[in-house]
Structure 1
Amino acid sequence: MTIALETSHLEKSFGGLRVTRDLSLKVTAGARHALIGPNGAGKTTVINLLTGVLRPNSGRINLEGTDITDLPVHKRVLRGLSRTFQINQLYPDLTPRETVGLAVSERLGHGGDWWRLMGSRRDVNDEIAENLARFHLLDVMNERTVTLPYGKQRLLEIAVAIAAKPRVLLLDEPAAGVPESERHDILAAVASLPRDVTVLLIEHDMDLVFSFADRISVLVNGAMLVEGAPDEVARDPQVKAVYLGEGADV
């Protein structure tokens, strides 16, 4: 199988605190792969290492067979690696239409005059509309983002990530903070992501994890504890012990 994203012996420390320990992870092309673990396991640190926000102390990161360990964030995006965040990173005064339009224009190399691109190119506007429709945002596309329900803001962040046309997408807790009444749209949006996009999901919500993932890796204290198919992970006594010990549900 083709490997889309891989880490080899990844280490990250902050002073004397080792956050990532000899982490080797393989995500196959087209996979729906979940990375789970109790609070403090180092999951978001791993995402920040993969995307270039943090630099590892040692180890290597490969994207589709190319070493990207030393590449800055923007060059990883250009190579097809996108992410969402635990806390939304959106422009509060832009509308969803403008936000997705900016993302599309940036991908096409016209981020500096994105409003002109939206006004002059039908193909760009068609892509924006298609993206908004996929994530159920057409009904609020002209409202300021800051006024949207939180579930809609989470959907918009996923829409922005997809507008970059990634080959590998990292979803950092897409359901975090979303009210129960709005969670269905998040679940549906994640489930409907294009199959040609490899997805690595970090999530505490086990319903979302087990309804989405075809492979699960369990991280504990920055190191890999268990990896396998969802039913194997759910039955694993080490996983049960870790989650029971942390008071989480699995």
Structure 2
Amino acid sequence: MSDTVLSAQGLVMRFGGIVATHDVTLDLRRGARHALIGPNGAGKTTLINLLTGVLTPTAGRIVLEGEDITGTAPHRRVARGLVRTFQINQLFDAMTPLETLALVVSQQRGLTRQWWRALGSDRGVVERAGQLLEQFRLAEVALQPTRELAYGKRRLLEIAIALACEPRVLLLDEPVAGVPAGEREELLQTVAALPADVSVLLIEHDMDLVFSFADRMTVLVNGAVLTEGTPEAIAGDPRVKAVYLGEGATHG
């Protein structure tokens, strides 16, 4: 079995005369904690949209666990274990966290048409939803409408939904974006505790999170890969400091 679970190979994305990604190659290893960083406009979101099927590349291909998925629809990629979260929170405001997670778990188990009954009658659905509520520190707000939750809790729920989809590859798109300082620690600890068998690609501007989480990093600049390496190598790279981290940046 290959050690690479997700591979972007020579991805090019053109929008008319604009090249948003230029020959981007990135390999995500099994169980990885891999961060994708770069300044605004570097092409990070475009790359994620290519990986998840929102966009079809102009050139190049995407391989998931040995299978070419370049032309595969987004929902089929999810079914194959490639799941993302979003920069902008996307939740069912009128539903509670318990109802939301029960719906997703039921869908995973082929019970979507009867999820409202499964919530009370299918022990497996209830147990899995309960596990996710505990894991993501949502048990105390399980019965509150989502619209009433603090923003940090909403982000936790979004990651819980992604994990309920039983991903093998999880793309975390700026999980702490917009989260107030007082709510960040809980989110950071939960991200750090994600299951080891899920390979994670993290897109994030918060360098404290990036350097505490990642075991490998890829730096995008102007749609192309500037460099890739360990966090230590990236922190010490003068090119990265010049274009992104800032000359005075230090991270351990």
TM range (shorter): over 0.9
**Are 2:211 and 1:201 aligned?**
no
Letter in structure 2 aligned against 1:81: L
| Code of the aligned partner of 2:231 | P
Is the Cα contact below 8 Å between 1:36 and 1:43 reproduced in 2? Answer: yes
1:113 Cα deviation after fit: 2.3
Aligned to 1:187: 188
* Number of aligned positions between the proteins: 250
- For residues 71 and 4 of structure 1, the distance between their equivalents in structure 2, rounded to whole angstroms, comes to 16
Stretch moving more, 237-246 or 223-232: 237-246
Q: Using a 3 Å threshold, how does the CA distance of structure 1 residues 249 and 155 change in structure 2: closer, same or farther?
A: farther
Aligned twin of 1:85: 86
CA contact (8 A) 2:170 2:199 kept: yes
**Normalised TM-score (structure 1):** 0.97
Asked whether the equivalents of residues 173 and 202 of structure 1 are also in contact (C-alpha less than 8 Å), the reply is yes
Letter in 2 for 1:143: Q
Q: Tell me the equivalent position of 2:50.
A: 49
Q: Summarize deviations over 1:116-165 as a string: whole Å, max 9, x none.
A: 11121111101000000000000000101111000000000000000011
* CA distance in structure 1 between the aligned counterparts of 2:124 and 2:11, rounded to whole angstroms: 42
Q: Which residue of 2 aligns with 1:117?
A: 118
Equivalent residue, structure 2, for 1:225: 226
Uncovered stretches (5+) of structure 2, i.e. residues with no partner? none
The Cα of 1:244 is off from its aligned counterpart by: 5.8
Asked if 1 retains the 8 angstrom alpha-carbon contact of 2:38 and 2:220, the reply is yes
Matched, 1:37 2:38: yes
Asked whether 1:242 is paired with 2:236, we answer no
Q: Distance in 2 between matches of 1:175 and 1:40?
A: 19
CA contact 1:50–1:61 (8 Å) conserved in 2: yes
Identity %, equivalent residues: 60
Give the secondary-structure state (helix, strand or coil) at the position aligned to 2:95. Answer: coil
Q: Which residue of 1 aligns with 2:150?
A: 149
Is the contact made by 1:94 and 1:145 (CA closer than 8 Å) also made in structure 2? yes
For residue 73 of structure 1, what is the aligned residue in structure 2? 74
Structure 1 consecutive aligned stretches of length 4 or more whose deviation exceeds 6 Å: 245-250
User: Using a 3 Å threshold, how does the CA distance of structure 1 residues 213 and 138 change in structure 2: closer, same or farther?
Assistant: same
Residue 38 of structure 1 contacts residue 248 of structure 1 at CA under 8 Å; is this kept in 2?
A: no
Question: Is the alpha carbon distance of 1:44 and 1:249 closer, same or farther for their aligned partners in structure 2, counting shifts above 3 Å?
Answer: farther
Structure 1 window deviating more from structure 2 (112-121 vs 14-23): it is 112-121
Q: Is the 8 A contact 1:214 1:229 kept in 2?
A: yes
Q: Distance in 2 between matches of 1:158 and 1:72?
A: 22
In the TM superposition, residue 101 of structure 1 has moved relative to its aligned partner by: 0.7
CA distance in 2, matches of 1:45, 1:219: 11
Shift in alpha-carbon separation, 1:220–1:247, aligned structure 2, 3 A: farther
Partner SS state of residue 28, structure 2: strand
Q: Structure 1: which amino acid aligns with 2:120?
A: G
Q: CA RMSD in A?
A: 1.6
Tell me the distance in 2 between the aligned counterparts of 1:50 and 1:185.
28
